[in-house]
Structure 1
Amino acid sequence: MTELNTPLDLNNPDYYLNRELSILDFHLRVLEQAVNPLHPLLERLNFLLIFSRNLDEFFEIRVAGLLQQLSFDSAITTSDGMLVSEVLKRIADICHRAVEKQYRILNEDLFPALAAENIRFLKRDELTEAHRLWVKQYFREQVLPVLTPISLDPAHPFPRLVNKSLNFIVSLEGKDAFGRQISLAVVPAPRSLPRVVRLPDELTDGGDQHVLLSAIIHEHVSELFPGMVATGCYQFRVTRNADLTVDEDVDDLAIALKGGLLLRRYGKAVRLEVADNCPRDIIDYLLRKFGLREESLYKVNGPVNLARLLSNFNRPKLRYPPFTPTMPSILQKTESVFEALKKQDVLLHHPFESFTPVINFLREAARDPQVLAIKQTLYRTGADSEIVNILSEAARNGKEVTAIIELRARFDEESNIEVANKLQEAGAIVVYGIVGYKTHAKMILVVRREQDKLHRYVHLGTGNYHAVTARIYTDYGLMSANADLCEDVHKIFQELTGMGKAAKLKKLLHAPFTLHTQLIAAIEQEIRHVQAGKAAHIIIKVNALTEKQLMQALYRASMAGVKIDLIIRSICCLRPQVAGLSENIRVRSIVGRFLEHTRVFCFSNDGDLKVYCASADWMDRNLFSRVEACFPIDDPILKKRIYKDGLLNYLADNQSAWELQSDGTWQQVPQAEELSHQAQSMLLEKFAKV
């Protein structure tokens, strides 16, 4: 234990890790799953493609933001004291090595392993004569009619190309129909075309054989330029700034967002990917056209759009074994969700437990003549989701339906606008939340008349109301009829739809008002316990930790002797295991079959365990710029279940765990052969026995 009067400056930037580099480290942990033998072969391929999608968004948002900062001030620094220019240099170095590794894994590991299973992605020189005839016909019937070759000359300047679209730059010899000497042309590949084309069964000897769209276009590109000779054809892709900023001082946020969505497709270029055989003079030409420097260039040995590589292979043995989420026993025994909640709170642990109870809760409310009102927040859900259909049905049935829709959920803006329109057409009240604050809380409130009295029921969650992600993200949901909890949720909905002072809540911690201060208070309480000679322990499970005051509170707790375990999926700016500062803090990350998404805050509290679940991560934006709900787990049985399954279980994982070192690097926990423990597998096995 460190003496508390030791003069440590907790604002010292050396005590903090860079946010952008930290999230990049997470993406690298995802990439490592592509070579992890614990995962079936097609799942390893999927991890490789997830890495591609993650890296795309990293450049679209994080790198784009850094470049924008740099354009304003070349001397600007990040919270850890690094110059933005240095961060960008580090990112470029790491990403170039990572992309090289990614394609090496694809070409030297995954493609050969897939070929051994008779799943092949054929290159042009691997096509048989029968293949070539079929590909030629496919090109002429399915591809050629939708291609638009664009010659590059004074009358045809370089085209505006859509963010992340597949394109080809073609070198030409000869003259066109008008006698012009054209040397270069661009061929955009429409997004309507599949990037992977499966060859007919009669040509595959019983296997799964595919040809990439890029190979098909390359093989027949000369047909686009009759009378000329294509001397080269090189795929490329540009990534653009996709961070959508909208002036919220507008009359209609939805209309403003629609305009912004169009601009996102043509933001400032931040990365150029090209085929590694592209000649240097053409590369230089593309860099000039996109206003990019050499460090933004990525030469790849394979498709430039890996994110669209995966096909629907019917190979169950090469996938994770299927599982059926279970239903809580109380809901199996009780016909009505409302009757079940009168007896006890219900905790749902997705994806191990089904998302169906949430759907049933809403469906019963929509059709129950005793239900008067339904209120729900929607962050990411999808216009065609069952939840939206049920809310629409409820509105048509005469229920007072209020939907708080966060239009600004990144990359879901267009879908959320569709959701809003659909609900409004059904007669629901749609509110876009609070100007300047994203509504990120996950809440449902149902008001029901029972024997001439009004009773309320709630669902609170750590994840979005999205049936698809509920099968692949780990999340907690609490269903309850607790009067104080329901009253708190009612007050937050009043805040979101009306105006007035911040509500005084009995149970919920509420961002941007009480959540941050109460978390600091809970940490300080553990410090007081350890100073009094009592045991003290903090376990926090979140997606990200970046908020400085919370990190400083954890440092103070560590110096006082409080044991601290942090289970953090992605970004962690706290530096653990530093002598005299954070030697009592251990940080681990679990990367496995399911995306870890639960947010759980646990304080030992001198034996009277306090456990909270929340929609909020420990980030500045969640605590100060969003509406978030953090709910206590009071039922002793449910509290113990979260403590064991959601926390201790993950701290014991010795198969999928990584630990953060004091120098900022992540090291995989050595995989134990004896007494092996994988947290997600344990939960799958546990709930399969229920």
Structure 2
Amino acid sequence: MSEYKFINREISWLQFNERVLREADDDSVPLLEKLKFLAIFSSNLDEFFMIRVAGLYDQVEAKYDIKDVSGYTPKELLAKISDTAHRLVKDQQKIFRKVIKECARHHIVIQPEIDGELSDIVESIFNDEIQPLISPVTLSAANPFPFIYNLRQCIFVKLEKGGETHYSIIIIPENLQRVFKIRLHRTYCVTSEEIIARCLPQVYPGYKVMDSYTLRLTRNADLTVDEDEAEDLLKIIEKKLSSRKKGNVVRVELDKTAPDEVLKFLQERIGFDNEDVYIVDKPLDLTFLFSLTDGNPELMYPEHKPFVPYGLTADENIFERLKERDYVFYRPYHDFGFNSALIRRASVDEQVLAVKMTLYRANRGSSIVESLAEAARRGKQICVVIELKARFDEERNVGWAKKLEEAGCIVTYGIPGLKIHSKNLQIIRKEPQGIVRYSYLSTGNFNEATAKIYTDIDYITADEAVGHECANLFNMLMGYTDYADWNRISVAPTGLKAKLISLINYEIENALAGKKAEMLIKINSLIDKELIMKLHDASRAGVKIEMIIRGICGITAGVKGLTENIRIRSIIGRFLEHPRIILFHHGGKKRLFISTADWMERNMHSRVEQLFEITDKNAKEFMMTILSSNLKDNTKAWVMEGEAYRKLKPAESEEPHNTQEFFIGKQIGH
């Protein structure tokens, strides 16, 4: 094991989030899109602390001090994370200050000086919309320090009355509008905490307001469910959701105007270590920048209008069209609205007898869920496997489960101990020649909102062999039957990893025999130790390996005698790269697969995932176009050098190639 070089998962993730942050400092990115990348960086970091850092603290508390494969104990890793995260937050603050100066030149003023006419408007907003909602707690023997929920902004106030110092805290309501846009000769963007701080004398009549400081806590928000003790998974998930806001503190954000005495006071009452403290400029929590990215289309990416390829329409003839050939959809360039319309068509088509579907994440107001409910009310057999443990979507999925059950759908929750991450839909239709099964396999969720910003592959086929295997997958998910006779589909945790290893071994054998051997792997994360070591074996055997890994990457490229045949790149752009596509040269036969699984232990062993082989000639050619375009990208791609990444720039002799812009401008699928 010692000869293998692994990159730590958490450090690699922070490198990925740094690449996201750098988009906010890229001159080619439109101004308001830069605000969006700053917000994404903040949102990503929130989840990282709530889940990954929280888990490390749990290990330290349990006195677990064994080094991981990258050589860190949990305590050592927390120190490394703290150093890296503090540096990145400082970088974010610097970029934010640069971007808001640029915004001001376009008459969008963030953090304005509140005076003149603006002062009167701010005071009116406070009186009408904010003051009725806030409940200050002035600390005393009768009013102890209140509990501060996860990610809740607070204002800590220092007061003076009768020569005595008092402290008070205002926990800003979760449902209070975070930012108010005031349009005068410019657009002024004022946060709710700025307005409250401005109007504190009205909150504390009889006191002298000495100063105020903004505070935000991040808590352990991991949701652990012991399914063996859960007689009703739906009920236990509902109970567990309330505990998410009350976990231990893992990060404290405090504005830099706060003196040491305030930090010490808070430390004594809340309980946190110095390395957990992030002293930052106001405003804290830049996720509010998401709300500032509308109304100025000239400062955004040009509007992207997805289209339905192949001339398809979800009309009464759609099922005849789907029998003609296999169809590949590449969202968001292709319109996911067709997929929603297909399900809607199936819900009202008299010849459709049943619909089966996995549901991992769905958007609010999902028309797909509405269509399934309507189909059940029309007497069709609707079977939905809902993953209640999809992180941060648990509450929404509980609601969908209840809605679908009330409509008459058969709703199940998968297999105890495993998350259902496969993305499948099957429409069963009675036709003159008999029962026809239309199968839909995807790398992405049935989520109409994220389908506009994630790149993913949807594959639709009426191939009976695929329909048979999809039916077996649903039988496994809904009836816990262990069906092992797979051909086109491989399923985790039973056979997917073994299939990948077998395919890699075939390339190794060819390389050792002096034959051409290549792999092209596009995934989101690579951290599975066994697969990494198998890639090491392949590289040493002479297999040429191109990898496009957006996020976490545990392997180091270009190490002599170990990974010198491996090249790794990451693409960060307008859309979030999400499909998993794997191509093996396979002695010239070129076997191509799409998958829901990243190459991580959890995906291989703790989830139901699918790997699907695409055999249709046209579909394979299209998928290889996607891969080759990814490899040509020289504007949004980062290449790994050692354990670090370098942003690519077109050489003087090269044409710039942005793979996402390429597909926006290419009417693929006509």
Partner of 1:214: 193
* Equivalent position amino acid for 1:115 in 2: A
Change (3 A) 1:689 1:506: closer
Q: 1: CA distance between counterparts of 2:651 and 2:272?
A: 46
Counterpart check, 1:119 vs 2:108: yes
What's 2:67 paired with?
A: 77
2:156 matched to 1:169?
yes
- Give the letter for the 1:117 counterpart: H
Deviation (angstroms), 1:14: 5.2
TM norm structure 1: 0.94
Are 1:372 and 2:353 an aligned pair? yes
AA aligned opposite 1:300: V
Q: State which of 26, 30, 37 in structure 1 corresponds to 2:20.
A: 30
- Residue 32 of structure 1 deviates from its aligned partner by 0.4
Alignment match, 1:186: 169
The residue aligned with 2:88 is: 98
Q: Closer, same or farther in 2 for the Cα pair 1:452/1:333, shift >3 Å?
A: closer
- Aligned equivalents of 1:340, 1:92: Cα separation in 2: 56
Quick check: 1:337–1:360 contact (8 Å CA) kept in 2?
Answer: no
**Inter-partner Cα distance in structure 1 for 2:522 and 2:6:** 19
Q: Deviations over 1:20-63 (max 9, x none)?
A: 10011100000000000121000011101100000001100111
Matches within 5 A, 1:217-228: 217-228=196-207
> Displacement, 1:74?
5.0
Tell whether 2:279 aligns with 1:279: no
Q: Which residue of 2 aligns with 1:494?
A: 475
Residue correspondence of structure 1 range 385-534 to structure 2 within 5 A: 385-451=366-432, 453-534=434-515
The CA distance in 1 between the partners of 2:54 and 2:352, in whole Å, is 48
CA contact (8 A) 1:491 1:503 kept: no
Instruction: Kindly state the Cα deviation for residue 689 of structure 1 after the two structures are TM-superposed.
Output: 9.7
Shift of residue 192, structure 1, vs aligned partner = 1.7
1:129 CA displacement:
2.0
Return the letter of the residue paired with 2:214: Q
User: Given residue 220 of structure 2, which amino acid in structure 1 is its aligned partner?
Assistant: N
Contact 2:314–2:338 (CA under 8 A) maintained in structure 1: no
Query: Secondary structure of the equivalent of 1:343?
Result: coil
Against the structure 1 CA distance between its residues 546 and 297, is the aligned structure 2 distance closer, same or farther, given a 3 Å change threshold? Answer: same
1:328 maps to 2:309: yes
- What secondary structure sits across from 1:612 in the alignment? strand
TM-aligned CA distance change 1:676 to 1:452, over 3 Å: closer
In the TM superposition, 1:524-563 aligns within 5 A as 524-563=505-544
Shift of 1:222: 2.1
1:566 and 1:290 mapped to 2: Cα distance?
A: 45
Q: Deviations over 1:145-172 (max 9, x none)?
A: 1110001122111111110011011011
Partner of 2:613: 632
Mapped partners of 2:69, 2:317: distance in 1? 52
Distance in 1 (alpha carbons) for counterparts of 2:110 and 2:644? 36
Q: Name the stretch that deviates more: 599-608 or 328-337.
A: 328-337
Given that residues 15 and 574 in structure 1 are in contact (C-alpha distance below 8 angstroms), is that contact kept between their aligned partners in structure 2? yes
The structure-2 alpha-carbon separation of the partners of 1:462 and 1:24, relative to structure 1 and needing over 3 Å to count, comes to: same
Cα distance in 1, alignment partners of residues 364 and 239 from structure 2: 20
Paired with 1:102 and 1:194, the residues of 2 have a C-alpha distance of: 24
Q: How far apart, CA to CA, are the structure 1 residues paired with 2:305 and 2:386?
A: 30
Report the counterpart of residue 3 of structure 1 in structure 2: none
Letter in 2 for 1:48: L
Aligned AA for 1:470? A
Tell me which moved more, 304-313 or 569-578.
Answer: 304-313
* 1:653 aligns with one of 630, 633, 637: 633
| Residue-by-residue CA offset, 1:621-680 (whole Å, 9 max, x unaligned) | 1111111111111111110110122x1111111101111122x11111234464111111
**TM-score of the pair, normalised by structure 2:** 0.97
The CA distance in 1 between the partners of 2:639 and 2:613, in whole Å, is 28
- State how far apart, in whole Å, the 1-side matches of 2:265 and 2:532 are: 47
Specify the SS of the correspondent of 1:173: strand
Q: Aligned pair in 2 of structure 1 residues 672, 43: CA closer, same or farther (>3 Å)? A: farther
1:156 has 2:168 as partner: no
1:326–1:688 CA contact under 8 A, matched in 2: no
Q: Following the alignment from structure 2 to structure 1, what is the Cα–Cα distance between the partners of residues 555 and 86?
A: 26
**C-alpha distance after superposition, 1:566-588 (max 9, x if no partner):** 10010000111110000000110
Q: Per-residue CA shift, 1:88-146, capped at 9, x if unaligned?
A: 11111111111111111111x111100000000243xx223221122112211111111
Cα pair 2:384 2:410 within 8 Å, conserved:
yes
Task: Supply the distance in 2 between the matched residues of 1:665 and 1:61 (Cα, whole angstroms).
Answer: 24
- Of 559, 562, 574, which residue of structure 2 is paired with 1:581? 562
Distance, in Å, in 1 between the alignment partners of 2:337 and 2:156 is 49
**2:214 and 2:282 in contact (8 A); partners too:** no
Aligned to 1:35, what secondary structure does the other structure show? coil
What is the Cα deviation at residue 331 of structure 1? 1.5
Alignment counterpart, residue 592 of structure 1, candidates 561, 567, 573:
573
User: In 2, are the aligned partners of 1:401 and 1:428 still within 8 Å (CA)?
Assistant: yes
Is the CA contact 1:236–1:273 (under 8 Å) kept in the aligned structure 2? yes
Which whole-Å CA distance do the structure 2 matches of 1:672 and 1:290 have between them? 54
| SS of equivalent residue, structure 1 residue 533 | coil
Contact preservation (8 Å) 2:426, 2:439: yes
**Structure 2 counterpart of 1:243:** 222
| Paired position in structure 2 for 1:141 | 128
Q: Secondary structure at the match of 1:571?
A: coil
Amino acid across the alignment from 1:186: I
- Looking at structure 1, the residues matched to 298 and 651 of structure 2 have their Cα atoms a distance apart, in angstroms, of 25
2:437, 2:467 within 8 Å by CA — same for their partners in 1? yes
Conserved? CA contact 1:69–1:76, under 8 Å: no
Q: Residues 322-361 of structure 1 correspond to what in structure 2 (within 5 A)?
A: 322-332=303-313, 336-361=317-342
Say how many residue pairs are matched: 667
Contact kept in structure 1, 2:309 and 2:669, CA below 8 Å: no
Superposition pairs of residues 27-66 of structure 1, within 5 angstroms:
27-66=17-56
Aligned residue identity for 2:269: K
Unpaired runs of 5+ in structure 2? none
1:8 — aligned with what? none
The 8 Å contact of residues 328 and 346 in structure 1, kept in 2 or not, is answered as no
In angstroms, what is the RMSD of aligned CA positions?
1.6
- Partner Cα separation in structure 1 for residue 397 and residue 249 of structure 2: 26
Kept in 2: contact 1:457–1:480 (CA 8 A): yes
Instruction: Please name the residue that 2:656 is paired with.
Output: 676
CA offset digits 1:327-356 (Å, max 9, x no partner): 121515985221112100000000011112
Which amino acid letter does the alignment assign opposite residue 205 of structure 2?
A: P
Report which stretch shifted further, 486-495 or 134-143: 134-143
Offset of 1:66 from its aligned partner? 0.7
C-alpha change, 1:37 and 1:605, in structure 2 (3 Å) is: same
Deviation, structure 1 residue 404: 0.2
Distance 1:439 1:633 in 2: 22
Task: Sort the Cα spacing of 1:541 and 1:688 in 2 relative to 1 into closer, same or farther, 3 A.
Answer: closer
Tell me, yes or no, if the aligned pair for 1:544 and 1:569 is still in contact at 8 Å.
Answer: yes
Q: Which moved more, 1:299-308 or 1:578-587?
A: 299-308
- Range with greater deviation from structure 2 (131-140 or 256-265): 131-140
Tell me the secondary structure at the aligned position of residue 544 of structure 1.
coil
Task: Supply the distance in 1 between the matched residues of 2:651 and 2:444 (Cα, whole angstroms).
Answer: 31
**Cα distance, 1:263 vs structure 2:** 0.5
